[in-house]
Amino acid sequence: MATATATKPSASGTKLRPLGDRVVVRPTGREEMTKSGIVLPDTAKEKPQEGTVLAVGPGGFDNEGKRTPMDVKDGQKVLFAKYAGTEFKIDDEELLIVSQKDILAIVAN
């Protein structure tokens, strides 16, 4: 009989293992203030569309049942669709799980 040991999730992504073609992303910070100095409330802030990849799933399956490789890797900066993914919090850090198809581009350094 197998026993499971619980591990505490970590915001660094090392304890998160996304399934299929999903990717864990840390969105870049939202603008707190306009250029003219007006402080923005949470409801007026733009949703981030850029972030850093923390963890990558093993990839989805094609029509023949073969695993398809992922295009992104841990540590890459990516652009993703504005309302893509599911937001969640781990250790007071806001993260996002998106499908690889919602990632629009990899940002070159």
CATH number at residue 56: 2.30.33.40
Mean pLDDT (the chain) is 81
| Tally of domains within the chain | 1
Q: How many CB atoms lie within 10 A of CB 103?
A: 23
* 62: amino acid identity, one letter: D
* Tokens encoding 72: 């992104």
* 2: amino acid identity, one letter: A
Q: Judge whether 6 lies within some domain.
A: no
Structural domain span for residue 100: 22-30+40-107
Return the beta strands (E) in the chain as ranges: 22-27, 50-56, 77-80, 86-90, 93-99, 103-107
Q: Judge whether 85 lies within some domain.
A: yes
pLDDT over 60 at 63, yes or no: yes
Q: Judge whether 84 lies within some domain.
A: yes
Q: Judge whether 67 lies within some domain.
A: yes
CA distance 105 to 57: 17
Look at 92 and 53; give whichever has higher pLDDT.
53
